[in-house]
Amino acid sequence: MPSLLIADDHPLFRAALRQAASEAMSDLQVREAESLEGVLAALDATPDTDLILLDLHMPGNHGLAGLAAIRAQHPGVAVIVVSANDDPRVVRRALDHGAAGYLPKSSGLNELREAIRSVMACEQWLPASLRAAVSRAQSSSHDSALAARLASLSPQQFRVLALVAEGLLNKQIADRLDVQERTVKAHLSAIFERLGVRNRTQASVVLRELELSDPARQAL
C-alpha cells in the first residue's frame, strides 16, 4: 500500500491535501505532521514512506533546510515541496536540493492529484505555469555543490549539524542524541571535512544558506 506524509502546520490545508491525495490514488495510506521534528520522527518510525508533501515554512523548517534534512536522513523518500513561494529561482533551488516536484499553494486540486500520480510514478513534476520559467532559471554551481556536500553527510552527522546550527554545545548535543561526547566530536570532525569548513560557525552558516523568506509573513 503506497504511503504519503502530509507535512504542514495548517489543519484545514492538511485536510484539503488529504482529500485530494485520497482521490489521486486508491488504497493510499496518509499520515500527517505539523512540524519538521514531527516529519523526521514519522520517517524514523515508518521509513518505507513513499512520498512527502512538504511545506517550506512549517515550524522547525526554514526554507530548504528541512528538505536537505529529509534527503540526507531518508534519501529513498520522494518529496514534493508545497509552498506559497512560486519564484522560479526558488523552485530551481528546491529541485537542485532533491525535490521530486514543486506545488505552489495557489494550485488547484487537479494539479495536486497530477503531481502525486507523477511523482509516485518516479517522474519529476512541475505545474505547467512554471515549467518554462524554471527551465530558464540557472542552477547555481554553489548551490549544487552545497547540495552534494550535505548529501555526503550520514543521517547522524546531519542531526549533529542541525543541533550545532541551533547553538547547542557538544555535551548538549550528546545528551540530546544519547551518545558519548567523544562521538559528537568525531562527527564534527567528519562534518567539517565533508563540508569544507574549519569550525562550528562556518558549519552553521552552511545551513543558514538554505533559509528562505516566507511570502505569507511578508504579506503581514
Q: What is the pLDDT of residues 117-135, one digit of tens each?
A: 999 999 999 999 999 999 9
- Please report which confidence band the pLDDT of residue 216 belongs to, taking 50, 70 and 90 as the band edges: low
CA distance 78 to 98: 8
In the predicted structure, residue 220 carries a pLDDT above the cut 50: no
In the predicted structure, residue 62 carries a pLDDT above the cut 80: no
In the predicted structure, residue 218 carries a pLDDT above the cut 60: no
Please say whether the beta carbons of 69 and 63 come within 8 A: no
Mean pLDDT for all residues in the chain: 89
- Please report which confidence band the pLDDT of residue 214 belongs to, taking 50, 70 and 90 as the band edges: low
DSSP state of 26: T
- Give the per-residue pLDDT at 207: 82
CA distance 109 to 57: 21
CA distance 101 to 112: 10
The whole-number average pLDDT for the span 137-159 is 85
Please say whether the beta carbons of 93 and 69 come within 8 A: no
| H or E element that contains 219 | none
